[in-house]
Amino acid sequence: MDHKPSVLVQVDLHAQYVHLVITGCVTEANQHALHPVVARARTLIPSVTVTVDLTGAAHLEAVAVELLRAAIHHEHTLSGSGPAEILVPAVLSHHPPVPHHANPLTGGTRTRTGSPVLRAA
Ligand SMILES: [Zn+2]
């Protein structure tokens, strides 16, 4: 089964905030894909706090949150990049199992994931 995160980058043009809105699946196996996105976001506007919003994720693993938190802290210590905080939902969600695996011939059901979208708020 395909577990992938999607990232929407929201940048406030008055330099008030940079939000990374994460949807889809954030698991131990794929959370590393978010590291460069977070690192890049923290360089967009110096000294602005980057918020990594995981509250909209359909599938969120506790260990993934911890790994992400550690990576963000490490990055901050290492390169002195701007502050970042993680928003975690009160209850970790897990989407229901997909009833059938996506059929490569019919295309199955795929959610669009991939490159972050840059959107000015
Ligand atoms: Zn998932």
Q: What DSSP character marks residue 16?
A: S
Side-chain-facing half-sphere of 49: CA atoms under 13 Å: 6
Q: Whole-prediction pTM value?
A: 0.75
- Would you state the structure tokens that stand for residue 38, as one six-digit string? 């977070």
Res 48: pLDDT: 87
Q: pLDDT (tens digit, 9 = 90+) per residue, 38-97?
A: 999 988 887 889 999 999 999 999 999 999 999 998 877 777 678 899 999 999 988 877
Which two structure tokens, joined as six digits, stand for 40?
A: 């890049």
Domains (ranges, CATH) in the chain? 5-110 (3.30.750.24)
Q: What is the DSSP string of 74-97?
A: HHHHHH-PPPEEEE--SS---PPP
- If you average pLDDT over residues 94-104, what whole number do you get? 65
Between the CA of 15 and the centroid of ligand 1 the distance, in Å, is: 33
Q: How far is the centre of ligand 1, averaged over its atoms, from the C-alpha of 64 (Å)?
A: 12
